[in-house]
Structure 1
Amino acid sequence: MRDLPAKVVELVSRLLRGDRREWGAAMTAELAQLSDGPARWRFAVGCAWAVLIAPAHPGGYAPGAAIRVTFVAGVVGCIAATAYVVTTWPHAAGEISGVTAAWFVAALAAYLWIALRPPNALVAHGDAARRGATVGIVLFLVGAIGRSVIDAFVPPDGDLAIGVFLTVIVGGTLLATAFAMSRARQSFGAGVTASLWVALVCSMLAFNADLLAILSGFNLDAHMRHSMPDYYTVVTPDAFMSRHIGEHLATSMDGLRTLPLLALIIGSMGAALGRRWPVARDIG
């Protein structure tokens, strides 16, 4: 039978910074001294809590003011935009499933938690967190500009182009960021951390910018052309919004959880590759 408590301790130990590897070895050694099953599980869960969930040490890295403001303002924006949609178009709430709504609330709570009292798992590798947040901003800008260009020049039936573009730049960025940070720091945890910060920052910016754009009418014309190419010229903007805003809001809500989950998966792959890739060293 697999020793699951040992696997838990082994996994969380891999997420520690390089200067705390001895701590991981000590946890493994202490677990080996325990023979009682419940005691081993209590110890393993305690280790996971200390490494992943517990607040960062007061003297450690914390998100900068810009990230804190972005997350807090983003949460406020998410709530305000959602309230405006369901108030203006009450039937839009029917497009949002209970599961989506629950995930949305959990995601907003997580963003506030990260902004105000970040867990160890996201800030233990401070340099990776900073670089990931920066890449997240760049990814959002590149994605927004690229999508606007495609909307302007690709025919209404060219949704495939948008899908391919976003898949390539998002997936490629998450993989490359995790690989680069893991290889540079020779740390699996650094790679995953960087990838998660890319997704967290990008998804929050994307949710607010996308809803703000469509509610303000900035890119409503493009949405109408791509969503209803056969009826684009006969449907009024008000009728289009009434029919599609609920679905659009639900999709945006899903993005707040989908991108970080993808970052965890793709980032783990990139980090594993980077950790195994030898770092070139100068030969004197």
Structure 2
Amino acid sequence: MTRHEDMAGRVLAVVVRALPFHRKDWGQAMRAELAAITEGPARRQFVRGCTRAVLLSGTALRTLAGYVGMLVFAAVILRQTADLPSAGVRVEAIGLIAVITVLAWCGRRRGALGPAGIDLVPRLIRLAGYAAVMTTVAVLLTTGTNDPTGWWLAALAVGVYLTGFLRATTQPAADALSLPIAATLTLVGLAVWWVPMLLLIGVRAAPILTFLVACALVPAGTALGSRTGSPIKGTLSGLAAAAVTLLLFFLAAVLTYRLAPGLVPDIAGPGDAGGLTPAAKAETNQIESIDPYVADFLLGAVLSGILTAVSVRRRPGVATGIRRFPGEVYPADR
């Protein structure tokens, strides 16, 4: 085989890597057919045709867009870390970007975190998970960036959230919980709190309401699961919804108070209480108003970590190779 013929094989090997996991058989078929072609011009023509087919397919374009998005995100965050006042936070932020990159890579490989389910719902939820995580990182880099001893905990929570999103959208986990139920409960829970929060000062003055709303999602999931004959599946879906909703509560509160400072509750007191200047008072009010939602953020990460740990545990003595949640009844068990 000449150098040019071998180059054709290398090019095709790179091209098929753009295919998602569930289309890998197509890539293997291309490589097998190329191996049967011996003429150099024919090999190159075949590779050109395969390249066009792969690059013009929707799955490859989405994969390429994902890679570009991750690169842009990493570049923006790294640029933002250069302006951070704390060297410790800069190191931790760079480490977080590395962790996110590794997790994203694992999400495309067969294993506990990947690949995503073949249906549209898990793919959309995984995409939304990436968006939520990226937004969270951007928010954290402008919140408490002078405290490396606390920032690492927030960075750890981000990693746990992303791991949870990836695990929940794999095929085994998607079979063990209802992603449509979880997504619906998440959106309903966010709307139930956020809309009144925008309109009523009493809701903004009572951050504990977010915890109550998140707790209510669990029995709601159980009830919805019972209607389909799987209360445990519904409960797990409710727990997953609660974890994600707690993250969204945090993001909604932070972004709302930044974009609409007039909605920030007056915690510092009227007038020049405490000797604060108007600017210092506004900053204090915003910080104090956001602090309670940090607890939501961390609690959601703990819940996400627990669900992820449970979902990857195999039931002993089962030879089907299917990852299960405790208590679920499968046809093979009957």
TM-score band, normalised by shorter chain: 0.5 to 0.7
Quick one: structure 1 residues 235 and 178, their matched pair in 2 at CA, closer, same or farther if it must change by over 3 Å? farther
Quick one: structure 1 residues 164 and 71, their matched pair in 2 at CA, closer, same or farther if it must change by over 3 Å? closer
Deviations 1:191-233 (A, max 9, x none): 33211221233223222222112222x1x233242x2343489
Deviations 1:157-193 (A, max 9, x none): x94xx356445433223222223314533342x0332
Describe the SS at the equivalent of 1:124: helix
Match of 2:270 in 1: 230
Distance in 2 between residues matched to 1:247 and 1:209, nearest whole Å: 15
2:117, 2:171 within 8 Å by CA — same for their partners in 1? Answer: no
2:210, 2:249 within 8 Å by CA — same for their partners in 1? Answer: no
Describe the SS at the equivalent of 1:84: coil
Quick one: structure 1 residues 121 and 228, their matched pair in 2 at CA, closer, same or farther if it must change by over 3 Å? farther
Pick 1 or 2: higher relative contact order, CA cutoff 8 A, min separation 6.
1
Within a 5 Å distance, the mapping from 1:88-99 to structure 2 comes to: 90=146, 93=147, 98=149
Residue 221 of structure 1, aligned match among 262, 268, 273: 262
Quick one: structure 1 residues 260 and 114, their matched pair in 2 at CA, closer, same or farther if it must change by over 3 Å? closer
Match of 1:171 in 2: 215
Distance in 1 between residues matched to 2:289 and 2:209, nearest whole Å: 19
Identity of aligned residues (%): 17
Residue 240 of structure 1, aligned match among 271, 281, 286: 281
Residue 186 of structure 1, aligned match among 212, 227, 230: 230
Match of 1:26 in 2: none
1:180, 1:191 within 8 Å by CA — same for their partners in 2? Answer: yes
Quick one: structure 1 residues 164 and 186, their matched pair in 2 at CA, closer, same or farther if it must change by over 3 Å? same
Quick one: structure 1 residues 144 and 239, their matched pair in 2 at CA, closer, same or farther if it must change by over 3 Å? same
How much does 1:142 deviate? 1.7
Structure 1 alignment gaps of length 5 or more: 1-52, 266-274, 276-284
Are residues 1:64 and 2:115 paired? no
1:61, 1:123 within 8 Å by CA — same for their partners in 2? Answer: no
Quick one: structure 1 residues 101 and 141, their matched pair in 2 at CA, closer, same or farther if it must change by over 3 Å? same
How much does 1:131 deviate? 0.9
Q: TM-score, normalised by structure 2?
A: 0.47
2:223 corresponds to which letter in structure 1? Answer: F
Quick one: structure 1 residues 122 and 108, their matched pair in 2 at CA, closer, same or farther if it must change by over 3 Å? farther
2:218 corresponds to which letter in structure 1? Answer: L
1:71, 1:112 within 8 Å by CA — same for their partners in 2? Answer: yes
1:62, 1:123 within 8 Å by CA — same for their partners in 2? Answer: no
Residue 297 of structure 2, aligned match among 256, 261, 269: 256
2:129, 2:165 within 8 Å by CA — same for their partners in 1? Answer: yes
Higher Cα Rg, which structure: 2
How much does 1:136 deviate? 0.3
Structure richer in helix, relative to its length? 1
Residue 139 of structure 1, aligned match among 189, 193, 199: 189
Match of 1:125 in 2: 176
Match of 1:106 in 2: 156
1:63, 1:115 within 8 Å by CA — same for their partners in 2? Answer: no
Deviations 1:134-171 (A, max 9, x none): 210121112101222321xx49xx94xx3564454332
Quick one: structure 1 residues 236 and 177, their matched pair in 2 at CA, closer, same or farther if it must change by over 3 Å? farther
How much does 1:120 deviate? 7.2
Deviations 1:89-143 (A, max 9, x none): x4xx3xx8x4x544422221123223445467842325x2221112101211121
Q: TM-score, normalised by structure 1?
A: 0.54
